[in-house]
């Protein structure tokens, strides 16, 4: 689960044998810890969220209508001329790699605000990363979402809080860059995308690895058939046990069930998404026939065998020549997110059905392993 702390440099991609079924070797390298308290709740039906009423005007004179149209056009142009203004929910460790560093090189993105319930922690975070505005206290998240000077919200909160605070941000008219896993269940993901479509807003699951040219090149090679027909696929994403003591904090939220934690949620989504993308089965339903949960890392010899390379190719530009000039996967992801907000066609995009399909696979994985399902939670104000 330490990919959120990866080095800010691109790396080569090793293409190995692709084999029939995606066996995601995900394991917990520490026992689960209790972190605070929270109240689990079932998914909230979309229809319970109120719709914003449409205002109509009648008998408007032509001059007034023209003035309003010109004013609206001027407002829209002003919005296009300024960078997309981001607010971050929480002083998260993923924030620098996930958004802050990529935004430094993107002319149309700027992080203006961070919300942290711990005032001192939020102030340190803002000072370190040059964020001009902070919100603190129990209403911090509410205040950030209500801020009219924020265009988009980056939601890196613990897994169990993704659903509620993304819906709140959408209701407030904000675009949302949402950390993976997108939600606790596939149904919650469907509701998020339905609300975003209803309101004409952009929601993107931050599956950053999808956006790198190397990832797209792997897809092109596999789908071209030059390696032959794919018969099966082994996929592994592991972290050495000795590194766990440095990668995870004491009582890390990733191991907190009440916050929808677990290795399958934090790491398992990556190999699932990778094999779907590489084989072109982005939205196809996968049936999980069996799953085994274990608190120990996978066998390193077996992992090496799955990574055995028959062909290695370094790819830092797309097939048509477009190049991010050394961008990380997070920077490519931000490029796509901002382009979508601006109405441009992104170089790469993750279809909503793909995010839903990945979450459905994770749900099956937990069910087959015998562990209880994950639930989103309500954070008391």
- The yes-or-no answer on residue 250 being catalytic is no
- Angle, helices 352-369 vs 186-199, to 10°: value is 160
Active-site pick, 128, 180, 314, 345: 180
CB 171 within 8 A of CB 180: no
Counting every residue, how long is the chain? 381
Q: Which of 375, 180, 145 is nearest to 274 (CA)?
A: 180
Tokens, residue 284: 């196809």
Distances (CA, A) of 294 to 25, 69, 224, 263: 10, 61, 37, 10
| Number of Cβ within a 10 Å radius of residue 252 | 18
Q: Which of 206, 251, 260 is nearest to 379 (CA)?
A: 260
- Angle, helices 162-171 vs 186-199, to 10°: value is 10
Q: Which pairing describes strands 377-378 and 39-40: parallel, antiparallel, or unpaired?
A: antiparallel
CA distance linking residue 298 with residue 236, whole number of Å: 9
Q: Which of 238, 234, 243 is nearest to 298 (CA)?
A: 238
CA distance linking residue 22 with residue 18, whole number of Å: 9
Q: Which residues are catalytic?
A: 180
């Amino acid at each position: 689960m330490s990919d959120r702390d990866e080095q800010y440099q691109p790396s080569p991609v090793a293409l190995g044998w692709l084999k029939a079924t995606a066996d995601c070797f995900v394991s917990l390298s520490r026992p689960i810890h209790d972190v605070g308290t929270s109240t689990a709740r079932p998914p909230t039906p979309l229809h319970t969220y109120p719709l914003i009423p449409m205002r109509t005007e009648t008998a408007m004179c032509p001059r007034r209508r023209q003035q309003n149209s010109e004013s609206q056009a001027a407002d829209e142009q002003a919005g296009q001329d300024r960078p997309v203004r981001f607010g971050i929910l929480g002083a998260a460790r993923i924030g620098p790699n996930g958004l802050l560093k990529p935004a430094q090189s993107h002319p149309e993105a700027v992080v203006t605000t961070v919300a942290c319930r711990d005032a001192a922690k939020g102030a340190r975070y803002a000072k370190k990363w040059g964020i001009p505005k902070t919100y603190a206290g129990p209403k911090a998240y509410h205040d950030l979402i209500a801020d009219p000077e924020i265009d988009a919200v980056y939601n890196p909160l613990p897994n169990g809080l993704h659903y509620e605070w993304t819906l709140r941000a959408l209701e407030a008219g904000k675009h949302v860059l949402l950390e993976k896993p997108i939600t606790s269940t596939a149904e919650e993901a469907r509701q998020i995308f339905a609300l975003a479509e209803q309101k004409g807003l952009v929601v993107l699951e931050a599956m950053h690895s999808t956006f790198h040219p190397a990832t797209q090149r792997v897809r092109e090679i596999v789908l071209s058939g030059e390696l032959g027909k794919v018969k099966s696929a082994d996929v592994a994403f592991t972290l050495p046990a000795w590194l766990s003591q440095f990668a995870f904090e004491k009582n890390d939220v990733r191991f907190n069930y009440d916050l929808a934690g677990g290795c399958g949620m934090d790491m398992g989504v990556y190999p699932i998404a990778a094999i779907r993308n590489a084989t072109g089965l982005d939205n196809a339903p996968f049936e999980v026939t069996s799953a085994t949960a274990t608190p120990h890392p996978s066998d390193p010899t077996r992992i090496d065998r799955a990574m055995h390379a028959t062909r290695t190719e370094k790819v830092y530009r797309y097939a048509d020549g477009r190049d991010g000039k050394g961008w990380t996967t997070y920077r490519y992801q931000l490029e796509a997110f901002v382009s979508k907000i601006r109405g441009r066609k992104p170089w790469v995009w993750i279809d909503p059905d793909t995010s839903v399909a990945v979450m459905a696979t994770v749900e099956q994985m937990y069910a087959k392993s015998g562990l209880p399902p994950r639930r989103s939670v309500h954070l008391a104000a």
